[in-house]
Every structure is written in structure tokens, then in C-alpha cells.
Amino acid sequence: MSVDQDTAQRDDGYLSMHNGWFASGWPSYLPQHQSMALTMLFGTAMVRGLRGTVDEVLEQIFKGEYGFFFGHASDSLDSPVQWSDGDEEDYAETEEEKAEIRVGLAEHQARCEELIRAVGLPVPTTIRELADTMVGLGIVSQQDGAWSMPDPIPGPETVLPLSGDELARTAERRRFWEGGPAEEALIGYLKDDLNEPAEVFTSVDRLAKAIELGEGDVRHALGQLCREGEARLERGAERAQILLEDLKDHERFHLVLDWQHFNEHRITITRG
């Protein structure tokens, strides 16, 4: 099993996470934030060799002070599951749009609950029950008190009766997340080799040579940074923002980086 760590230290409040979690597709079919938090809990237990129940592992890691680890409205393992983060409506401009978002979220939750029941598992109502659901789905297991996760994590399509459209969306999300190594290499180059520059005057082929990957890999990694709001591409004497797809590999551009945004929104990881 392979995990990612946010630091090389293993026993002082730092957390580890299975590096295939997002690519697995499960975040789209489980309460997203809480299932991710449990995955970090299990991953940390594995890295540190912690044993025991979910309660015991939680106590060993956080010593009773885990704050908003499971979400702002979740103060214990017996807190209700939350299928949405609660801020989706913030992006709506009208009451009609808010109503549409609420309907969409309700339909998504109902569909996920239907899929869980279809494989003979009870729909989780608390975080503790969600941990049991993840065991029942084969995402995590426990033997002799030790937690483990398979590598790779079997995706929802191997367990749940997904429709054709759902299978296609799962495959597309997986392609999106599996570009991680290229993104990791580019971020490492910018952070470690260039010391987090405010901007770099470069080109796709120059970056490819620097990180020893193909131009396609660099384009994927740059696209990820731009989608996350961590970078933008500018060109021309008056520095106009441009689209990645409009650039040829050899054309020079300014890669403008927002490290504050990166550090505030990223879980920075290194391979364990």
C-alpha cells in the first residue's frame, strides 16, 4: 500500500493519505469531506503503525483535539454524515440558482444512498457508520487491530452498479487525477529548484526538459495549476493572459504563480 505524507515526520500531528484516494473515484459516491478525513485517519495509522478501533486511532493521533478535522459541524465520530460541504449555494447569484443547486445535491445524495443499499450495505448516518461502510465497500480493512488499504483502491465501478454515464464520468475523473506525478514534478521544480518564484519566463518544452518529462505531461500539470487558481499564463508586451491550448510548445510565456493561494489551499505532500 502506498501513502502520501505531508512531511517526513511520522509521529507529531502530521497526517498521511493513500495517494490513490482521489483517482479511485470514491469521493464522488461518499460524503466527500468526511470520507477523505477517514482516509487520512487510516493512512496515518498505517504509516505510524497505530492499532485499535477508529476511536482509539483518532485519540492516538489527536489526543482529543481534532478540531474541525471532520468538518465544522462534526465534533465527534457520532456526528451526522454530510453529503455536501454546505457552501455550494455561495456561488449562486439568484434564488432560482440556489434552488437548483439544492435539488441537484438532494438527487446526488439519493443516488449514492441507492447504490450503497444495492450492494446490501446500510446507508451511513454518522461518521462512525461511514467508517463501517468504507470497510464494507473494501476501501479499508482491519486485521489484528491494524488498518490497511489496498493499492490500488478498488474503484466504485468494481463494487457499485453504476450506470453507463456514471462509469464514463468515473473514468474521466480518474484520468484527471492520475496526472499527479507530472504535477508533483513541476511543483517540486518550482518550489525546490527555483525557490518559489513569483513568475518564470519559460516555455512548455523548456519545462519538459527541466523536469525530464514529455511536453504532454507538462501541459497536464500546468493545466492543473491554472484550474486550481495557483497559476496563470501571460504573454506579449502588455502581458495579456492566454490559454494553455493557444501556446505552442516552443513559445515563451510568463508563468505567474500565486504561492499564497497554493499554501492556503493545498495539502502539501511528499512520497512516503
Q: What's residue 144's pLDDT?
A: 92
Question: CA–CA separation, 266 vs 264, rounded Å?
Answer: 6
Question: 242, 203 in Cβ contact below 8 A?
Answer: no
Q: What's residue 265's pLDDT?
A: 65
201-246 confidence digits (pLDDT tens): 999 999 999 999 888 889 888 988 998 889 999 998 888 999 998 8
- Amino acid symbol at 267: I
Is the model's pLDDT at 270 over the cut of 50?
Answer: no
Please indicate, yes or no, whether the overall pTM of this predicted structure exceeds 0.75: no
Is the model's pLDDT at 27 over the cut of 70?
Answer: yes
Question: CA–CA separation, 216 vs 211, rounded Å?
Answer: 12
Is the model's pLDDT at 13 over the cut of 60?
Answer: no
Q: What CATH number matches the domain at 180-271, 1.20.1630.10, 1.10.10.10, 1.10.630.10, 1.10.3210.10?
A: 1.10.10.10
Q: What's residue 7's pLDDT?
A: 34
Is the model's pLDDT at 272 over the cut of 80?
Answer: no
Question: CA–CA separation, 182 vs 217, rounded Å?
Answer: 6
Q: What's residue 98's pLDDT?
A: 85
Cell of 91: 456561488
Find residue 141's DSSP bridge partners: 148
Least confident of 33-47, 88-102, 167-181: 167-181
In the chain, domain spans = 3-170, 180-271
Which residue spans within the chain are E strands per DSSP?
3-5, 16-18, 141-143, 146-148, 199-202, 231-235, 240-241, 253-257, 270-271
